[in-house]
Chain A
Amino acid sequence: MSDATKLYAQNGDPVFPRIVLPEIPNLAQIETYESNGGYGALKKALSMDPAAVTDVVKKSGLRGRGGAAFPTGLKWAFMPKGNEKAKYLAINADESEPGSFKDRQILEFNPHQLVEGILIASYAMGIKAAYIYIRGEYYKWYKILEKSVEEAYSRKYIGENIAGSNFSVDVYVHRGAGAYICGEESGLMESLEGKRGYPRVKPPFPAQNGLWGNPTTINNVETIANVPAIIWNGAEWFAKIGAEKHPGTLLYGVSGHVNKPGVFELPSGTLLTDLIYKYSGGVIGDKKIKMVIPGGSSMPPLRGDQLEGVKMDAESLKGAGSAIGTGGVIVMDEDTNLTKVLLRITKFYWDESCGQCTPCREGTGWMKKILQRMYDGGGKVEDLDLLVRVANNIEGNTICALGDAAAWPVKFTIQRFRKELEEELASQERSAAA
């Protein structure tokens, strides 16, 4: 099947475009990608002024898909213009946020669109070398990426004078080795330089002082995979898809107690309840929902009765008291043990804390200890306030956002499920007294 109208969502259903995961069989093969028009956006970009490419991305309204939803064009514009110092691009394929399994779909089914996006971004910013930092566990996808990059080299899309232009860039795949903190952008850079992945104090920001002290941009896989379609179709096309302030499609990963978990590419602003009931087949056994974490384990959880009308985009979720994060939706049914969930999540952050900041290192340990005591049946009602105090002491007092990520689930679960948790703890106190 060679349907040239589908890649980059050209002429696709304007309501339901599939921008980064088009339904084209064997798209991971370079022949298929090319025969569907692939690398056409790169050629188009190369005929434009680099600054004009950044401008299109800016006007499109594209925002980062790695968790913080930062405007991508603006980030690119922070990079210095000249070539006094070599400039670098790092692609974040660390994907380690619990509940997130979306970038992997791009790596498996559409790796060349990522490579093409990297090349366009590199041209726009005058990048000398781009490094794709992929988590060590993703061995299969590391192999796919290595092959895709090699193929692109052999067809002169990467290397010297790419596609006949006077622009040259190198692209390398770099494998991590198991550390969640290396997904944090400055931890990633430290790791790429061959060190422990300790996040850096900011400022200075990467655009001034990044890899090896040089100007660097870090972008997520999904963010960059959107770029070829934006260049091909124009900023206005993209800006009209989905939510006004956070346009485009998002890869929503739904997991937990649903009948058909999976990754769905849908316009931003899709209803959370549609994701759960329409696309993921509803809750197993038709049970009620107790809690949903809408954007990966670091984001504030929502109560089952808070889901109606909630739209899945950065602004709407902020309004609903959570955040879009990575778009990884974790659904928990009415029988879920909240203490067990919090204990598991907290154990994760405690495990993954790099230990540089005392509030994060000690605070995660304290929270874990209290939650373990509650889980073992030895909790007290006052433990809830104690947990909130520890969480508040972490939040905002650390070098990187892992601290906040550890604090939010605990703090907001207690805030939103106070009654249930108090009852449970009161009964624990009664049985301890008896």
Chain B
Amino acid sequence: MFTEENLRRVEEIKNRYPKPMAALLPVLWIAQEQFGWISEETMHYVGGLLGLPFNHVLGVVTFYTMYNKKPVGKYNIQFCGNISCMLRGADNLIEHLEHKLGIKVGETTSDGLFTLKEVECLGSCGTAPMMQVNNDYYEDLTSEKVDNLLEEFRKQAQR
């Protein structure tokens, strides 16, 4: 299931730790990179690679919020709703996004383009309000900035 390259990376990562179990989080990251989310089938597969029971892998996947337990939109919007961002208007921007995308927090648009989540502090409190989209941070947000970004993502998706 993994590409040749990813299988090679798994071997290299296993060498970093005295026990193969420690490679679980990094290998789950590789899986999410390749498949976009972590299905039960993937969990069985990863367990097999590292010699871990399925239940252990399941327990780990469900403990950590960043592993997607179901497919997410092409743009996974994670808006910080914690205190410093809230003090600077995060609530309004989250509502604005819900309105703009026509979905509620926790949902994905029907075209599969956007998922909207509210997340905890992302370590950008000095540039609040802010959000993470896939791997990237977008800081000092206003409703105009958010609108422009959505436009930008829509254009990117068409290319």
Q: Judge if A352 is at the interface, Cβ distance under 8 Å.
A: yes
A196 & B63 in contact (Cβ 8 Å cutoff): yes
B123 & A137 in contact (Cβ 8 Å cutoff): yes
Q: Judge if A210 is at the interface, Cβ distance under 8 Å.
A: no
Query: CB-nearest residue of chain A relative to B59?
Result: A196
What chain A residues lie within 8 Å of B67 (beta carbons)?
177-178
B29 & A261 in contact (Cβ 8 Å cutoff): no
B82 & A261 in contact (Cβ 8 Å cutoff): no
Q: Judge if B66 is at the interface, Cβ distance under 8 Å.
A: yes
What chain B residues lie within 8 Å of A129 (beta carbons)?
16
Chain B nearest CB from A221 CB (Å) reads 11
B25 & A99 in contact (Cβ 8 Å cutoff): no
A175 & B25 in contact (Cβ 8 Å cutoff): yes
Looking at the complex, which one of A98, A170, A176, A262 makes contact with B84 (CB distance below 8 Å)? A98
Q: Judge if B121 is at the interface, Cβ distance under 8 Å.
A: yes
Q: Judge if A76 is at the interface, Cβ distance under 8 Å.
A: no
88-136 of chain A: CB within 8 A of chain B: 95-101, 103-104, 129, 135-136
Query: CB-nearest residue of chain A relative to B20?
Result: A194
Q: Contact mask A174-197 → B, CB, 8 Å, 1/0?
A: 111111100000000001111111
What chain B residues lie within 8 Å of A297 (beta carbons)?
82-83, 121
Q: Judge if B74 is at the interface, Cβ distance under 8 Å.
A: no
Q: Which stretch of A226-234, A248-256, A426-434 is in the interface? A: A248-256
B127 & A194 in contact (Cβ 8 Å cutoff): no
Q: Judge if A351 is at the interface, Cβ distance under 8 Å.
A: yes
Q: Contact mask B123-159 → A, CB, 8 Å, 1/0?
A: 1111110001001110000000000000000000000
Looking at the complex, which one of A177, A192, A328 makes contact with B65 (CB distance below 8 Å)? A177
Q: Judge if A332 is at the interface, Cβ distance under 8 Å.
A: yes
Chain A nearest CB from B32 CB (Å) reads 9
Given A212-B18, A255-B128, A351-B120, the answer on whether A344 and B63 have CB atoms closer than 8 Å is no
Given A98-B82, A101-B124, the answer on whether A196 and B60 have CB atoms closer than 8 Å is yes
Looking at the complex, which one of B66, B81, B128, B135 makes contact with A178 (CB distance below 8 Å)? B66
A194 & B123 in contact (Cβ 8 Å cutoff): no
Q: Judge if B99 is at the interface, Cβ distance under 8 Å.
A: no
A172 & B16 in contact (Cβ 8 Å cutoff): yes
Query: CB-nearest residue of chain B relative to A98?
Result: B121
Interface-central residue, B23, B60, B125, by most chain A CB under 10 Å: B125
Chain A nearest CB from B108 CB (Å) reads 18
Q: Judge if B122 is at the interface, Cβ distance under 8 Å.
A: yes
B126 & A194 in contact (Cβ 8 Å cutoff): no
What chain B residues lie within 8 Å of A140 (beta carbons)?
135-137
Given A177-B66, A194-B24, A261-B125, the answer on whether A99 and B135 have CB atoms closer than 8 Å is no
Query: CB-nearest residue of chain B relative to A133?
Result: B25
Looking at the complex, which one of A104, A194, A340 makes contact with B23 (CB distance below 8 Å)? A194
Q: In the complex, A98→B101 CA distance in Å?
A: 27
A197 & B63 in contact (Cβ 8 Å cutoff): yes
Given A257-B87, A330-B84, the answer on whether A135 and B123 have CB atoms closer than 8 Å is yes
A348 & B120 in contact (Cβ 8 Å cutoff): yes
Q: In the complex, A96→B121 CA distance in Å?
A: 6
A330 & B121 in contact (Cβ 8 Å cutoff): no
88-142 of chain B: CB within 8 A of chain A: 88, 119-128, 132, 135-137
B87 & A194 in contact (Cβ 8 Å cutoff): no
A175 & B19 in contact (Cβ 8 Å cutoff): no
B120 & A261 in contact (Cβ 8 Å cutoff): no
Q: In the complex, A383→B119 CA distance in Å?
A: 28
What chain B residues lie within 8 Å of A263 (beta carbons)?
126
Interface-central residue, B63, B122, B126, B137, by most chain A CB under 10 Å: B126
Interface-central residue, B28, B64, B132, by most chain A CB under 10 Å: B64
Q: Contact mask B38-66 → A, CB, 8 Å, 1/0?
A: 00000000000010100010011001111
Query: CB-nearest residue of chain B relative to A181?
Result: B63
7 A-B pairs whose Cβ atoms sit less than 8 Å apart in the complex? A95-B123, A100-B121, A136-B64, A194-B24, A255-B87, A261-B84, A348-B121
Q: List 7 tightest A-B contacts by C-beta distance, closest first.
A: A178-B66, A177-B64, A194-B24, A178-B65, A255-B125, A194-B21, A255-B84
Which A residues are within 8 Å of any B CB, using their own CB?
Answer: 86, 95-101, 103-104, 129, 135-140, 170, 172, 174-180, 191-197, 212, 253-257, 261-263, 297, 328, 330, 332, 336, 340-341, 344-345, 348, 351-352
Which B residues are within 8 Å of any A CB, using their own CB?
Answer: 16, 18-19, 21-26, 28-29, 50, 52, 56, 59-60, 63-67, 78, 81-84, 86-88, 119-128, 132, 135-137
Given contacts A177-B67, A261-B84, 9 further A-B contacts (CB under 8 A): A98-B83, A98-B125, A137-B78, A137-B119, A194-B60, A195-B59, A212-B18, A255-B87, A344-B83
